[in-house]
Amino acid sequence: MDAQLLRHTFAVVERRAEHAVTFFYSHLFWNNPGMRALFPEDMAPQRDRIFAALTHVVTHLDEPGLADYLGALGRDHRKFLATPALYSAVGASLLAAFAHAAGAAWTVAAEKAWTEAYGLVADLMKAGAEASVAEGQPAWWDADVVRHERFGEDLALLTLRPRQPYPYLAGQYVSVSSLHVPRVWRTYSLANAPRPDGTLDLHVSRVLGGLMSPTLTERLRVGETLRLSTPGGALTARTPPGKPRTYIAAGTGWAPVRALLEEAAADEPALEGRLFVVARAKEYLYGKADAERFRELIPGLHVTYITAAPLRPRDQATERLVQALRASVNWPAHDVYLAGPPGFLTEVAEELEDLGTDPCRVFHDTLPAVGRFTTRPSTRAEWLIEPPQLHWHNPEARAPRER
């Protein structure tokens, strides 16, 4: 593949990505009307993901991990009912959108390079899907809801029982779909290490105005069925025995950290480590009882709870965490497991690097880029039809002091 030419055209298209995404889906659904029914009704939150995936591809062309990434993506695309014929349809629309957005940069050579590149990407994805069929994996796992508990207004703790064996590792996440919001899939961390009875827990925090989290917290009932995709994620245990480690969990970031601690309590109860549990306010510290149990099971675990002071904005919890991290010692020796909202992850990972941790030993999930190209309306007509929301639009999402 001519990597330089691919990057050059992509840089031009990326500048007009909002147009390209709109063109792509219009072209795809106009030429293949049946495909619209495979996508969620409201595509606004995620419609740029295919571009995010392509960004990943063109920026990782030389890396050996690319084939694995695309294989896993193809495996995962079985849940969207993607077939080889549909890959051709997507390819035709993607190239049409690129030609439209690239203008003069869409030369004969560029078209040839992109046709080859898309062919390779699609082949690797289809190979991943074929391998998963050969291994006897289902396209998704049906799982019955056996417990649904609310913790305050904003949080639900779910226990699910998959109907077929569902293999996963402590710390991984799963993509979930509910018939209440058909074809919408969102990612949630598995909150326990694998259990003999096969049940698994999820902790869901309600995002006001969201599609999935209000469904899972408010509408879902015991006895209903959810769909689960293949588990994924990079937050699995990988510290050699005897090496100290630090766990940092904010909000529902407690879910994967809880799973890792459950595994560690069984496999290595003599470990030396520290645990920071962060919540926006005291009443959101829903993991405290569990964390206390881990303190007893792992005597070498030093536990600290951090929240914002009453009536202070939630950012204060992060500031307090940073102070506590600075007061802790011996960072270069520690492996760090980090989970929480995206902004929190970035800020804390930077701080940890300043404190001397090895960036390769700070483990957290890499977050899919969402909303990068779709936050701004792309044309004047879109501005008029759907004016952009001001970022303080939802007063309930803000802490009392900020109102």
- Per CB under 6 A, residues contacting ligand HEM are 38-40, 43, 46-47, 49-50, 53, 73, 76-77, 80-82, 86-87, 90, 121-122, 125, 175, 185, 368
Q: Which does residue 86 touch among ligand FAD, ligand HEM, none (CB within 5 to 8 A, set by kind)?
A: ligand HEM
Q: Tell the burial category of 51 from Cβ atoms under 10 Å away from its Cβ (0-12, 13-18, 19+).
A: buried
DSSP 97-115: HHHHHHGGG--HHHHHHHH
Closest distance to ligand HEM from the beta carbon of 188 (Å): 12
Among 211, 264, 291, 317, binds ligand FAD (CB under 6 A): 211
Stretch that binds ligand FAD, among 50-58, 208-216, 262-270, 308-316 (CB under 6 A): 208-216
Q: Which does residue 122 touch among ligand FAD, ligand HEM, none (CB within 5 to 8 A, set by kind)?
A: ligand HEM
> Which strand ranges, in their side-by-side order, compose the sheet holding 225-228?
186-189, 173-178, 225-228, 141-151, 155-162, 200-205
Per CB under 6 A, 187 contacts ligand FAD: yes
Per CB under 6 A, 45 contacts ligand FAD: yes
Q: Which does residue 211 touch among ligand FAD, ligand HEM, none (CB within 5 to 8 A, set by kind)?
A: ligand FAD
Q: Which is nearer to ligand HEM, 93 or 205 (CB)?
A: 93
| Interacting positions 144-173 with ligand FAD (CB under 6 A) | 173
Q: Which is nearer to ligand HEM, 40 or 244 (CB)?
A: 40
Distances, alpha carbon 239 to alpha carbons 82, 264, 281, 348, 359, in Å? 37, 10, 31, 20, 14
How many Cα atoms within 13 Å fall on the side-chain side of residue 176? 27
Size of the site for ligand FAD (CB under 6 A): 22
Q: Which does residue 204 touch among ligand FAD, ligand HEM, none (CB within 5 to 8 A, set by kind)?
A: ligand FAD
Sign of the torsion formed by the C-alpha atoms of 377, 383, 386 and 387: positive
| The pair of three-digit structure tokens given for residue 310, joined into one six-digit string | 């009453």
Kindly state the greatest CA–CA separation across the chain.
67
Local structure of 202: helix, strand or coil? strand
Amino acid, single-letter form, for residue 86: L
For residue 21, how many other CB atoms are within 10 A of its CB? 21
Per CB under 6 A, 255 contacts ligand FAD: yes
Per CB under 6 A, 388 contacts ligand FAD: no
Per CB under 6 A, 367 contacts ligand FAD: yes
Closest distance to ligand HEM from the beta carbon of 77 (Å): 6
Closest distance to ligand HEM from the beta carbon of 309 (Å): 37
81: left (phi over 0), alpha (psi -120 to 50) or beta: left
Amino acid, single-letter form, for residue 69: Y
Cα–Cα dist 315/318, whole Å: 5
Using Cβ positions, the residue closest to ligand FAD within the complex turns out to be 210
Q: Which does residue 82 touch among ligand FAD, ligand HEM, none (CB within 5 to 8 A, set by kind)?
A: ligand HEM
DSSP 8-state secondary structure symbol assigned to residue 217: I
The footprint of ligand FAD (CB under 6 A) covers 45, 173, 186-189, 203-205, 207, 209-213, 233, 252, 255, 341, 365, 367, 371
